[in-house]
Amino acid sequence: IDFPNVPLLYNLLGACHNSIGSKAQAIKYFDIAISIKPDYAQVYYNKGVTFNELGQLDLAVDSYKKAIELIPNYPDAHNNLGSVLQKLGQFENAIQSYEWAIAYNPNFAEAYYNMGNILKRQHAIQMAKKYYAKALKINPQYVEAYINIGNILIIQGNLDGGLKCFNQAIKINPKILEPYNSMGRVLAKQKKINEAI
């Protein structure tokens, strides 16, 4: 198909192909957009998303870094770069990326949540809890943040606090299974077997 030499159209075509699972075609369209407009940060970002979904993490890192090179104050690119670096085990670099995402967008709930996850993984439980709480302050419907705070409270021995978090998560999304499982384990610990079942 012939399209006008408009990079936006190729970017949109790439994003559409990515969303329907046609990843290779998406990359081709992104590359065409870049060949027309080499400084198109959004296309590099979209390529990063696609490469990440393909499991081509090094290429995703390169794409996000290129987007950030073109637009340094690009919070979504910093956040996504952090997620990929975290998958690669580059935790210090991932933390730095999340910090930049938050610096450029102080209301970026997902970046706070991601920071909480990496801190939890590094056993900085109190700090992780603070970041999850910040994510919830920005987005009170953030189910995963409630679940993670609940799990931290359980680890700290605050079973009732954990149960409240799991209940809140269920209230927001009754279809998600994880809080039910966590509640069952807590109630079993409390010897409330009938409630746990």
pLDDT tens digits, the chain, 197 residues: what are they?
565 788 889 989 989 999 999 999 999 999 999 999 999 999 999 999 999 999 999 999 999 999 999 999 999 999 999 999 999 999 999 999 999 999 999 999 999 999 999 999 999 999 999 999 999 999 999 999 999 999 999 999 999 999 999 999 999 999 999 988 888 888 877 766 555 54
The torsion of the CA quartet 17, 20, 24, 29, rounded to 10 degrees, works out to 0
- Which residues are within 8 A (CB) of 57 and not within 5 positions of it... i.e. 6 or more apart? 51, 84, 87, 88
pLDDT at position 197, please? 45
pLDDT at 11: 86
Three-state DSSP class for 186?
A: helix
21: left (phi over 0), alpha (psi -120 to 50) or beta: left
User: In whole angstroms, how large is the CA radius of gyration of the chain?
Assistant: 20
Cβ contact 59:52 at 8 Å: no
Give how far Cα 100 sits from Cα of 93, 111, 119, 122, Å.
11, 9, 16, 19
pLDDT at 138: 98
Task: Tell me the C-alpha distance between 41 and 7, whole Å.
Answer: 11
Of the candidates 138, 136, 123, the residue with the CA atom closest to the CA atom of residue 164: 136
Give the per-residue pLDDT at 188: 79
Q: How far is 75 from 1, CA to CA, in rounded Å?
A: 34
Q: What is the 3-state composition of the chain as percent helix, strand, coil, each rounded to the nearest 5? A: 75, 0, 25
Distance CA 30, CA 13 (A): 8
pLDDT given for residue 192 in this prediction: 67
pLDDT at 186: 84
Asked whether 116 and 135 are in contact (CB, 8 A), the reply is yes
Q: What is each CA distance from 173 to 85, 125, 144, 146, in whole angstroms?
A: 30, 25, 10, 11
For the whole model, what pTM was predicted?
0.88
